[in-house]
Amino acid sequence: MTEQKQRPSVGIAAIIRKGKKVLMMKRRNAHGAGTWCFPGGHLELNETFEKCAQHKTKEETVLT
């Protein structure tokens, strides 16, 4: 087994509103399967919060 480096992980969630509605997704095949969450994911090295939120939202919902 190879040794893995311990490093902090940053998670990003995008809260998208339209009027009084908020976009939420039902998790599947992940930690918390069957629960509701905002679109998001882990921040990549040298990525801004905004770029992460944009690409994770597009990746998970096809919204831009």
Q: Per the domain annotation, does 36 fall within a domain? A: yes
Domain extent at residue 28: 12-61
Q: Measured between alpha carbons, how far is 5 from 60 in angstroms, rounded to an integer?
A: 28
Number of domains into which the chain is organized: 1
DSSP helix/strand/coil, 7: coil
Model-wide pTM > 0.85:
no
The per-residue pLDDT for range 35-56, each reduced to its tens digit, is: 999 999 999 989 999 999 999 9
Q: Per the domain annotation, does 24 fall within a domain? A: yes
Q: Answer for the pair 41, 61: CB distance below 8 angstroms, yes or no.
A: no
Q: Per the domain annotation, does 34 fall within a domain? A: yes
- The model's confidence at residue 26, banded by pLDDT at 50, 70 and 90, is very high
pLDDT at 4 over 80: no
Task: Supply the mean pLDDT for the chain.
Answer: 88
Q: Per the domain annotation, does 1 fall within a domain? A: no
Q: Per the domain annotation, does 3 fall within a domain? A: no
